[in-house]
Amino acid sequence: MDVDEILTGLYRESGRQNPYPWYAALHRHGPVSAIAPRPEHRAIGVVAGGYDLVSQVLRDPAWSKQAPPGWQEQEILRTLQSSMMFVNPPDHTRMRAVFAKTFTPRRLGALEPVIVRVVDAQLERMAEAGADGGEVDFVADFAYPVPALVMAGFIGLPEADLSWYRQRVDRIDEFLDVAGKTPQRLARANQAAGELRAWYRELIAHRRRHPGEDLVSGLVEALDSGDVELTEDELVSNLIVLFNASFVTTVYLFSNGLPVLLAHPDVVAALPADEELAGGCVDEVLRLESPVHFLARAAPEDTTLGGVPVRRDENVLLMIAAANRDPARFSDPDRFDPHRGGPPSLAFGVGPHFCLGAAVSRMEGRLALPRLFARFPRLAVTRTPTYSGSLFLRGIDKLFVSTGGQETA
């Protein structure tokens, strides 16, 4: 099977549902391969799935993010291109520094009791919903609200607006998927970006008049005092991207992770009393079932990658979820092993764009998993889970469970 056939298989509905056989085929083909032009790939001529090569490209700041042509004409692309995630130094360094400063140990420490409170409240909701022995949607009652409420509190977004907000996030994420660049999806993403921008401008004006302890208030104050090199437009773009990046990914940490964990009853039984094990489970779930499946970087010059020629400005598709199961780096790569050790997975990326919120979602997982299984030691999946259908952000978006009675303690 050649690499183009592998990609065709991967992008089909069945491939998105279960991409792992296609990634195994990609590894058999080699760590990096040239590919034929495809309608869904703009300027991508090479695909890499080998851990070492993917990591090498991501670590090298000379391999850059590339703006799509005509980005200035589209609200969504203007938004992305004025945020840290989509730009290169020096703008990237400048913007990232502003936000990195806000993820202080003090702020992260203050988040711990907030996470515990949010988790316990959602466990209570699950207990009520499952009290009569009925099914509970783990995504609707736990995996989605936990990160959404934690991040809304951290950033300072009014909770009442979250469901309105989520619809806009979904439209942007649909556009970001590999097959998402249709005119309809672009139009929907443009509209969502415009509405979110207006919403944030109002929030900023409000926080300027009534500051609180939250991140938006802190950033507005820093902006107004001239302490940070950021325009108000850039602040809005970065807030949109920060919240988008923070919660769907963490939703999938929980929803993709639950079936994996339930397949290991010994781990589930040990989790309530073992926070270190919880940390190992979070990392291993993210390796095995990465919420983000691919990234892209453009070559700084005509060069070769693992012997494959890459032209200047040509994009390489970096399959981080495949790299996380590279048999050359992870022995028995499809096996769940929370004590695995070894190289870190690339689920949070690596290098200059390494996930700014990795510590936040790791903390959410480490605190939530022991509490979840302490409360519901007999939790069980009752139906085949359904996936979002996106490969860029791949995750379970419906997961019915029975709570199976709970510990009365």
Binding of residue 242 to ligand HEM (CB under 6 A): yes
Closest separation in Å from C-beta 346 to ligand HEM: 7
Binding of residue 360 to ligand HEM (CB under 6 A): yes
CA-to-CA dists, residue 170 to 74, 175, 348, 356, angstroms? 18, 9, 20, 21
**Pick 50 or 349: Cβ nearer ligand HEM:** 349
Binding of residue 356 to ligand HEM (CB under 6 A): yes
Instruction: Report the amino acid identity of residue 42.
Output: R
> For residue 327, which of 48, 27, 115 has the smallest C-alpha distance?
27
Out of 143, 245, 310, 368, the only residue in the binding site for ligand HEM (CB under 6 A) is: 245
Angle (deg, nearest 10), helices 183-209 and 215-224: 70
Is the alpha carbon torsion for 225, 230, 236, 241 positive or negative?
Answer: negative
Closest separation in Å from C-beta 269 to ligand HEM: 24
Binding of residue 96 to ligand HEM (CB under 6 A): yes
**Pick 355 or 379: Cβ nearer ligand HEM:** 355
Q: Give the Cα separation of 138 and 272 in Å (integer).
A: 18
> Which phi and psi (to 5°) does residue 136 adopt?
-125, 135
Span from 5-13, 262-270, 288-296, 381-389 in contact with ligand HEM (CB under 6 A) = 288-296
Q: Give the Cα separation of 375 and 389 in Å (integer).
A: 31
Closest separation in Å from C-beta 26 to ligand HEM: 19
Binding of residue 143 to ligand HEM (CB under 6 A): no
Closest separation in Å from C-beta 404 to ligand HEM: 26
Q: Which residues contact 246 (CB under 8 A, 6 or more apart)?
A: 147, 151, 357, 360, 361
Binding of residue 246 to ligand HEM (CB under 6 A): yes
Please report, as residue ranges, which positions from 313 to 352 form the binding site for ligand HEM (by CB under 6 A). Answer: 347-349
Out of 24, 119, 240, 295, the only residue in the binding site for ligand HEM (CB under 6 A) is: 295
Span from 165-173, 305-313, 355-363, 377-385 in contact with ligand HEM (CB under 6 A) = 355-363
Pull the structure tokens for residue 359.
């510590």
Residues 73-92, mask of contacts with ligand HEM (x by CB under 6 A): -----------xx-------
By rule CB under 6 A, what count of residues binds ligand HEM? 22
**Pick 268 or 347: Cβ nearer ligand HEM:** 347
Binding of residue 115 to ligand HEM (CB under 6 A): no
Binding of residue 253 to ligand HEM (CB under 6 A): yes
Binding of residue 357 to ligand HEM (CB under 6 A): yes
Binding of residue 292 to ligand HEM (CB under 6 A): yes
Closest separation in Å from C-beta 11 to ligand HEM: 20
Span from 67-75, 110-118, 136-144, 289-297 in contact with ligand HEM (CB under 6 A) = 289-297
**Pick 391 or 403: Cβ nearer ligand HEM:** 391
> Which residues are at the interface with ligand HEM (CB under 6 A)?
84-85, 96, 242, 245-246, 249-250, 253, 286, 291-292, 295, 347-349, 353, 355-357, 360-361
